[in-house]
Structure 1
């Protein structure tokens, strides 16, 4: 009598064990990111009052090793007789302003440029970094 290990390869039989198919559930994806640009623009609109308006706003996704967020480039236009004085007051107060953004934090806000126009209006260019609040 020969042992099964001594049989030639042609005579060995492999028994495949088949398991019933399992339902594979993918891991739940991270919730869709919600940008806060609308909330940020509404807050800035409240700070500028009736004489100011958002003229242009762009958003670019941003992330680091530990944070996820967005970079916002915003251009505000201040109109009226006291536009220069209002723009100066606004640009100095923006650095200390507390923005209430749902699910986000304003990590950095910088006034890039305050430019007076020929017609008396003043354009303020802002760069804002927001990060998601976990």
Structure 2
């Protein structure tokens, strides 16, 4: 998944902090995590500017769900390394379990990235 993401965004594609953010979150999720969607919108306050990102990942199967639980546990303390940006907030906003024939967990998270001065 990481290599496909990097290949798709190489070359003349506009690179922003979103690519590094996605790569770090997917590395935390491990190979069992599947990116469902990513959204980005500008964010600013009186003193800061940056962007807010939302991500959704799915984990299918018992082993993958264990990896998703590890992501949930690791995310609050993870030190992101995104050049020119600070991750001011990383929050799990939703966890949904589907106990069908093959168990599946969907994790949604939001991130606030601030531009460093």
Q: TM-score, normalised by structure 1?
A: 0.70
Offset, 1:120: 1.0
Q: How many angstroms apart in 1 are the aligned matches of 2:31 and 2:94? A: 21
Contact residue 73 and residue 127 of structure 1 kept, 8 A: yes
2:19 is the alignment partner of 1:67: no
**Equivalent residues, number:** 101
> SS of the residue aligned with 1:107?
strand
- The structure with the largest alpha-carbon Rg is 1
Q: How many angstroms apart in 2 are the aligned matches of 1:87 and 1:35? A: 26
The structure that is helix-richer by fraction is 2
User: Which structure 2 segments of 5+ residues have no match?
Assistant: 1-14
The correspondence of residues 8-47 of structure 1 with structure 2, limited to 5 A, is 35-47=16-28
The structure that is strand-richer by fraction is 2
Superposed CA RMSD: 1.4
User: Which structure 1 segments of 5+ residues have no match?
Assistant: 1-33
Higher relative contact order (CA 8 A, sep 6+): 2
Moved over 3 A (4+): none
Q: TM-score, normalised by structure 2?
A: 0.79
